[in-house]
Amino acid sequence: MLVLPERPRRNRRTEAIRRLVRETSLTPAHLVAPLFVVDGDRERQPIPSMPGYERLSIDLLLEKCRQLADLGIGGVALFPALPAYKKDKTASEATNPDGLFPRAVSAVKEQVPELTIFTDVALDPYSCDGHDGLVSETGEILNDETVEVLARMAVLHARAGADYVAPSDMMDGRVGAIREALDVEGFHNVGIMAYSAKYASAFYGPFRDALDSAPKFGDKKTYQMDPANVREALREVRLDLAEGADMVMVKPALAYLDVIRAIWEISDVPITAYQVSGEYAMVKAAAERGWIDGDRVMLEILLAIRRAGADVIFTYFAEEAAQQLG
């Protein structure tokens, strides 16, 4: 027998010991389910590139939210899917107080109050250009003009019942402008969950199918971040914190665990990670073929995102993971 001063396997000997020494926890309370809402009645539209995921009309959205709350899930992130005729150059539907989106937010707040509601503040679901900002005649994404619209949008979401507004557009200065607009209107208790480090990623494909929101020209690289950069993410976080962000986000998640960890080292607000549509689709596709055990891979990835330092995870697996976690 070897004489070994240390045998790490001793602490892995039984399930009870493993549970005692486990460093990271994953519970439904950490999870937020993104949900897509469409106009209509009993309307359920499957999204082919996101197996098992559907766009739902408000009545069905409420049923889904009730189930998620009963599973102990922490919150929902709501996104509107609009028909092409409601989209225009100025994203005017984004600030329509009678629009589908504020109606959906109010309904969820009223019927399922125990869910924390995050609302997406960006123009892409409303813009015929498919960009997160307003576009000039020469094709430039206009920062300051966009921020003005985002601030009005955030107030509309707060009035409808959002707990956190979540600017996902990566315009400069939007967190400060939104904070000020919310405070002026008396919404001191509505938080800002800033998509601080959002990368120009190929993992967003299925989401753009879900909302029919792919950019009609060019790409999003003048506002979303270069996947090569991590120090730049720290800069974005520093600015968003100075402007009053209550939580910061890294997006996507799995390919950016180092970014989550780097932010964890410097930030004193909760960190959210968004496991995006392409990450979900990859697991689903491989599991469908029997190449991986989908449930185990799902839980392993979510745990890894928590281990990297995320407090909250936005994930299309929220419901399935909560069921598994029991």
132 binds ligand PBG (CB under 6 A): yes
Residue 199: count other Cβ atoms within 10 Å of its Cβ.
24
CA dist 140 and 186 (Å) reads 34
| Window of 68-76, 101-109, 204-212, 228-236 that interacts with ligand PBG by CB under 6 A | 204-212
From the list 55-63, 107-115, 142-150, 206-214, the region that binds ligand PBG by CB under 6 A is 206-214
Select which of 64, 220, 251, 284 is catalytic.
Answer: 251
CA 55 to CA 80: how far, in whole Å?
Answer: 9
Please name every residue paired with 193 in a beta bridge, in sequence order, or none if there are none: 247
Tell me the CA distances in angstroms from 307 to 14, 22, 48, one per residue in order. Answer: 22, 11, 31
Total residues binding ligand PBG (CB under 6 A)? 13
The residue among 111 and 227 lying less far from ligand PBG, judged by its C-beta, is 227
Closest chain position to ligand PBG (CB): 207
- The CB-of-238 to ligand PBG minimum distance in angstroms stands at 22
Rounded Cα–Cα distance for residues 122 and 146 (Å): 9
The least distance separating ligand PBG from the CB of residue 251, rounded to whole angstroms, comes to 7
251 is catalytic: yes
Which CB, 111 or 148, lies closer to ligand PBG? Answer: 148
Strands 54-57 and 44-46: antiparallel
- 276 binds ligand PBG per the rule CB under 6 A: yes
317 belongs to the binding site for ligand PBG (CB under 6 A): no
Specify the amino acid at residue 54: E
Question: Around Cβ 285, how many Cβ atoms within 10 Å?
Answer: 14
In the bound state with ligand PBG, the residue whose beta carbon lies nearer, of 126 and 187, is 126
Instruction: From the candidates 198, 216, 221, 284, give the one annotated as an active-site residue.
Output: 198
- Positions in 216-275 near ligand PBG (CB under 6 A): 220
Footprint of ligand PBG on 71-130 (CB under 6 A): 120, 122, 124
Q: In angstroms, how far is the first alpha carbon of the chain from the final one?
A: 42
Residues in contact with ligand PBG, shown as a per-residue x/- string from 154 to 193 under the rule CB under 6 A? --------------xx------------------------
Binding map of ligand PBG across residues 3-42, x = CB under 6 A, - = no contact: ----------------------------------------
C-alpha torsion sign, points 159, 42, 132, 230: positive
Tell me which amino acid residue 251 is. Answer: K
**Is-catalytic flag, 284?**
no
* CA trace torsion 111, 114, 115, 116 (10° rounding): 120
- Minimal distance, residue 266 CB to ligand PBG, in Å: 24
Rounded Cα distance between 220 and 108, Å, is: 31
DSSP state of 129: T
CB nearer to ligand PBG: pick between 66 and 208: 208
φ and ψ of 159, to 5 deg: -60, -35
Residue 168 tokens read as 């996902």
The residues annotated as belonging to the active site are 198, 251
Residues in contact with ligand PBG by CB under 6 A are 120, 122, 124, 132, 168-169, 204, 207-208, 213, 220, 276-277
